[in-house]
Amino acid sequence: MASSGLTIFLIVCVVVLSVLLGTLLHAVKEQGHTNQVLEESLTEETVSIPDETLEEPEEPLTETPEETESELPEENPVESEETSEETEEPVEQEEVVEPEEPQTESSGTLEEQAAEILAGMTLEERIYQMFIVTPEQLTGVGQVVSAGETTRQALQNYPVGGIIYMGPNIVDPNQVTEMIANTQSYSKLGLFISVDEEGGRVDRLGSNSAMGTTSFPAMMTVGASGTEAAYNAGLTIGNDIQKFGFNLDFAPVADVYSNSANTVIGDRAFSTDPLEAAELVSAAVKGFRESGVLCTLKHFPGHGDTAADSHNGMAVSNKTESELQSCEFLPFRAGITAGAEFVMIGHISLPNVTGDQTPATMSHTVVTGLLREKLGFDGVVITDAMNMGAIVNYYSAGEAAVASVKAGVDIILAPSSLSGAVSGIQSAVASGELTEERINESVMRILMLKLERGIITTE
């Protein structure tokens, strides 16, 4: 009986232990499942963290170009380009750079850009910028019809502001286009590429049938057809020469043909009547501006009343300032109002205005007193060719250059000696006869115009 009771007790113990063990095993399995779920949950959260981190930079990447663009008006494009190079995404560099183009239309921005370029130039480089020369004067070659290593080396040594091409330099369209393109590519700063293309007897391209440009009669004949004809002449000439790479024309003639004994101007003028000439000159300037080519009013203070030809010797006008204001100055005023970028000073003496025989080119009274102050011209003032008889018969290249700069001239055209003219200005600065501030004034005008018209690019 006792044995039977013990057996029953052991069986009960086994059953209880089995239940407890089963319960324990179930609890372990549940805990393992819970841990697995927690581990998977943690793994998913850990993976999602990098996704959020990658998305965060997208907001500043979008904002960066906008912030840079908002700062661009306070910076110059050169600095903006350097800043944009640090951006990691190439597309973003383009987005930052693109808005700089329209900013060159702002006068403040142009001034800042020009000032930065000026600050990086030596005095010698600034002085050379004030010269436009023939390719022969630049290179020393007898007749230039192409541009290669000689031109490249010459521009490196003598970094002039521009080149004027004459009839013998112009052979055919391909030759001219290649010569000009090469010459431009060799210049550290963009060049004024200029020509005398008036129509009539001063027609460097139009007189060459191989060039395929429009040949115009004398402007006196064009003017007889009215202002629309004068406008179309300026527009057509500008379009014709621009396609070869010219960006500056020494036209239109703003002289009044008021002296029948005058042979140097004659039918190159639009009219014998100053009011009619003023209307026609204004129309021609508007045509040139529409074409995109820079134009030049010439020959201030008026070459139409002189009897002598300044190519050969001294040319004198005995008119008083009052007489000039009522006749010769009217076409110049009209052309300035129409937007002419250049005014060319003629080698004309005005003894009843200046009190002596000094050519207008070298007269502070004429250049600064009359043209700048009384006519209000703030563009680029250039001399007529300084290798003409009215200059070389009386002055050295250095003397003429220094006197012209002192008078207020910005650019000296075709000096009889480029080296002599540059040396003369350098010596005048060294002695204090000219100041660097006076040089900088002219170079700033030149640089700002080149920037404005895309001759100097900041890209």
Cβ–Cβ under 8 Å, residues 434 and 402: yes
| 245-259 pLDDT, tens digit each | 999 999 999 999 988
Residue 277: band (very low, low, confident or very high) from pLDDT cuts 50, 70, 90? very high
Catalytic residue among 196, 240, 255, 384: 384
Report whether pLDDT(162) > 70.
Answer: yes
Choice between 102 and 5, residue whose per-residue pLDDT is larger: 5
Other beta carbons within 10 Å of 78: 16
Cis peptide before 299 (omega within 30 of 0): yes
Residue 348: band (very low, low, confident or very high) from pLDDT cuts 50, 70, 90? very high
CA distance 344 to 365: 15
CA distance 168 to 144: 8
Burial label for 13, CB within 10 Å (0-12, 13-18, 19+), is exposed
SS3 402: helix
Give me 391's structure tokens: 């200059």
pLDDT at 21: 58
Residues paired with 165 in a beta bridge: 195
| 233-249 pLDDT, tens digit each | 999 999 999 999 999 99
Cβ–Cβ under 8 Å, residues 191 and 245: no
pLDDT at 118: 97
In this predicted structure, which of 53-62, 132-141, 304-313 has the lowest mean pLDDT? 53-62
Domain map (residue ranges) of the chain: 1-55, 57-103, 122-452
Give me 215's structure tokens: 């040949």
Going across the sheet that includes 296-300, the strands are 296-300, 342-345, 380-383
Mean predicted confidence (pLDDT) in 168-175: 97
Cis peptide before 252 (omega within 30 of 0): yes
First to last CA, the chain: 114
Mean predicted confidence (pLDDT) in 321-341: 98
Residues paired with 383 in a beta bridge: 345
Nearest to 382 by CA among 129, 117, 116: 129
Report whether pLDDT(41) > 80.
Answer: no
**Angle separating helix axes 436-452 and 107-119, nearest 10 degrees:** 130
| 87-142 pLDDT, tens digit each | 333 322 222 223 333 333 444 589 999 999 999 999 999 999 999 999 999 999 99
SS3 58: helix
Choice between 98 and 354, residue whose per-residue pLDDT is larger: 354
Active site residue 51: no
Nearest to 195 by CA among 245, 145, 236: 245
CA distance 293 to 322: 33
Choice between 78 and 437, residue whose per-residue pLDDT is larger: 437
Residue 36: band (very low, low, confident or very high) from pLDDT cuts 50, 70, 90? very low
Report whether pLDDT(459) > 50.
Answer: yes
In this predicted structure, which of 99-103, 306-310, 361-365, 366-370 has the lowest mean pLDDT? 99-103
- Letter for the amino acid at 97? V
| 375-412 pLDDT, tens digit each | 999 999 999 999 999 999 999 999 999 999 999 999 99
* Helix residue spans in 72-193 (DSSP H): 77-84, 90-97, 100-103, 107-119, 123-128, 135-139, 149-157, 173-186
Residues paired with 249 in a beta bridge: 195
CATH architecture for the domain at 122-452: Alpha-Beta Barrel (3.20)
Residue 14: band (very low, low, confident or very high) from pLDDT cuts 50, 70, 90? low
Residues contacting residue 4 through CB under 8 Å, at least 6 positions apart: none
pLDDT at 60: 33
CA distance 281 to 361: 22
Give me 295's structure tokens: 């134009």
Report whether pLDDT(437) > 90.
Answer: yes
pLDDT at 147: 96
Strand-strand pairing, 197-199 and 202-203 = antiparallel
Q: State the chain's mean pLDDT as an integer.
A: 82
In this predicted structure, which of 11-25, 147-161, 197-211, 219-233 has the lowest mean pLDDT? 11-25
Mean pLDDT: which of 13-17, 59-63, 302-306, 376-380 is highest? 376-380
SS3 349: strand
Catalytic residue among 303, 311, 356, 378: 311
Strand-strand pairing, 197-199 and 296-300 = unpaired
Active site residue 311: yes
State phi, psi for 195 to the nearest 5 degrees: -160, 155
pLDDT at 50: 33
CA distance 128 to 138: 11
Nearest to 302 by CA among 345, 267, 342, 262: 345
- Letter for the amino acid at 262? N
